[in-house]
Amino acid sequence: MTIREDNRLLDGAPMLPLRCAQCGTRVRVRKSSWHQTSIQWDAEAMDACLERRASTPGGGPNGGRFPSCEALRQTIKQAALDGAIPVPDDHYGPVATVPETP
Amino acid sequence: MTAVGSEHDGVRAIEAEAAPTRFARGWHCLGLSSRFTDGKPHTVKAFGQKLVVFASGDGKLNVLDAYCRHMGGDLSQGTIKGNEIACPFHDWRWGGDGKCKSIPYSRRVPLRARTAAWTTMEQDGLLFVWNDPEGNPPPADVTIPVIEGATRDDWTDWVWSETIVHTNCREVVDNVVDMAHFFYVHYSFPTYFKNIFEGHTATQIMKGSGRPDARPPARNGEPQMTGNTSIATYHGPSFMIDDLTYHYDTMDIKSVLINAHYPIDANSFVLHSGIIVQRSDALEGEAADVMARKLGDFILKGFDQDIQIWKNKTRIDNPLLCEEDGPVYQLRRWYEQFYVDVADVTPEMVERFEYELDTTRPVEAWRKEVEANLARRAAESQPA
Ligand code: FES
Ligand SMILES: [Fe+2]
């Protein structure tokens, strides 16, 4: 199978580079709405993230996964508010747009 | 024929390569191990082949290619004799390591009397088999986590079921990201949704409330389900553990749900679902078992809804996604790692990707903050 590019990245906004305000880790970020955020990490970023390094596995069979970096979340939120990461204003996410079902 | 649309009119074409005939590298669950310990060999069609699963006298579960290297007899129709499976055709004896151990009517076993053997693992009452088209053993860091409740008395036994689905197994994996289908197909209402792809794992975190329009009202005195919290991870290409808590108006119920499959061939797979439920004060003794069965039925209904869709849909490599859809392309990029040689796994297939949808903070709150931000900046840029 060939790996194909997401049609939304081809036709819409790209993933934009952003540095974490806390540790300087560089990731690529995109928001399709105020509610939605995509983050692409690379190996260097995964090594550099302080919260990730400090994290301990949570409980349960899936607890080994690092859930998210809160500092990066804050950075992205601020970048969105400042306009550094553009947010299309006409998207509200599926929850707000689903129709009533009979 | 009048064409209503054609390529020239900008009609979007559905593209799809044939489903791969190579099968994913990774651990695959063949179901409850107790199913295979009845003293008989079992036929399992998987990875485009016929396999025999048998418990040797030492209690170990073994998986071999079903076809005897002598004259092609079907070992899964044979008999277990001691630690070996005896072929029904001429009684050659095959060990779990794939070697022919003896031929009752011959003094010597010929050279190269060796058949394909799969690495197996028994854990939490389940039988796993390692598939690798390159023939390498499982790396130490590619494991299936232990599910604690599965072997504990304060949890129920597995409520397990299997069904054959006639389509390529990519369809079931796609569900990990398909947020919108939870609403339309399964009548649940995610308020928070997150995917994390990293290494050989793909995770879906979901918090949802039940849809009042779709759920049956609670009978008098029975608790009413109000929502659920689900942390589900694919550990490799085919085995998903869902750490699932059901919220009721009066209590929480903890459960672990398994959603696993193994390919029969390129166009069919066996879909497994399993569930265990924790016993608690609210759910003592029998009540937990009843609940497990109920939830098991509920989950099967969910699968049936999926299967109805899969049976009739077409394979599509170029889904046309809107901004509200989940990360289908990124999931498939992750999934591709299991279909190429280890040497050809690229960083983009395994590097961490996060997709988050959090609707708990209303859009209005965001708007207000942006406006306040702009006002503050305007004030700051006023000449002193
Ligand atoms: S074919 Fe199996 S023993 Fe002859
Ligand atoms: Fe589904």
Chain A residues closer than 8 Å to B339 by CB: 1
How high is the pLDDT of residue A100?
38
Cα–chain center distance at B246: 20
- The predicted structure's pLDDT at residue A88: 86
Q: Is ligand 1 within 6 A of the CB of residue B155?
A: no
Report pLDDT for A96: 37
Q: How far apart are CA B215 and CA B198, in angstroms?
A: 35
Q: Regarding the domain delimited by B148-358, which CATH topology (the fold level of the hierarchy) does it fall under?
A: Naphthalene 1,2-dioxygenase Alpha Subunit; Chain A, domain 1 (3.90.380)
Residue A44 has pLDDT above 90, yes or no: yes
**For residue range A54-78, what is the model confidence (pLDDT) as tens digits?**
999 888 999 999 999 999 999 999 9
Query: Is the Cβ atom of B90 under 6 angstroms away from ligand 1?
Result: yes
The domain ranges of chain B are: 26-131, 148-358
Whether residue A99 lies within 8 A of chain B, CB to CB, comes out as: no
Angle at which helices A70-82 and B363-380 pack, to 10 degrees? 60
Residue B52 has pLDDT above 80, yes or no: yes
The C-alpha atoms of residue B97 and residue B242 are separated, in whole angstroms, by: 33
Nearest C-alpha of chain B: how many angstroms from A54?
17
Confidence of residue B7 (pLDDT cuts 50, 70, 90): low
Please report, rounded to a whole number, the percentage of residues in chain B having pLDDT higher than 90.
71
B82 to B37, B54, B64, B96, B103: CA distances (angstroms): 13, 11, 16, 11, 14
- Kindly identify which residue of chain A lies nearest to residue B361, measuring between CA atoms: A35
Confidence of residue B103 (pLDDT cuts 50, 70, 90): very high
pLDDT at position B187 is 66
List, in order, residues 6 or more apart from B353 with CB less than 8 Å away. A38, A39, A40, A41, B195, B196, B197, B198, B327, B330, B334
B110 in ligand 1 pocket by Cβ < 6 Å? no
Q: B363, A39: Cβ pair inside 8 Å?
A: no
SS3 category, B134: coil
Check CB contact under 8 Å for A61 and B145.
yes
Whole-angstrom CA distances from A45 to A42, A51, B207, B354 are 5, 11, 28, 13
Tell which residue, B63, B69, B71, B358, has the closest CA to residue B194.
B358
pTM above 0.80, yes or no: yes
| Segment B250-277 mean pLDDT | 95
Q: Where are the alpha helices (DSSP H) in chain B?
A: 170-174, 179-184, 286-312, 328-335, 347-350, 363-380
Q: Whole-angstrom Cα distance, residue B266 to residue B141?
A: 28
Tell me how crowded residue A100 is: count the other CB atoms within 10 A of its CB.
Answer: 5
Domain boundaries, chain A: 7-54+66-82
Residue given tokens 């779990």 in the structure block: B96
pLDDT at A97: 36
Query: To probe the interface with A, which of B324, B348, B376 has the most A CB atoms within 10 Å?
Result: B324
Token reading at A78:
């601020």
B215 pLDDT band, cuts 50/70/90, is low
> Class of B26-131 per CATH?
mainly beta
Q: Give me the interface pTM, i.e. the ipTM.
A: 0.90
- Residue B371 C-beta-side C-alpha neighbours within 13 Å: 6
* Euclidean distance between CA atoms B305 and A75, whole angstroms: 40
Mean pLDDT, rounded, for B109-128: 97
Whether B161 has a pLDDT exceeding 80, the answer reads: yes
pLDDT of residue B384: 53
pLDDT of residue B194: 95
Query: Which pLDDT score is estimated for B45?
Result: 98
What pLDDT does B225 receive? Answer: 79
Which residues pair with residue B355 across a beta bridge?
Answer: A38, B195
Contact B352 A7 (CB under 8 A): no
Q: Coil, strand or helix: which one is A77?
A: helix
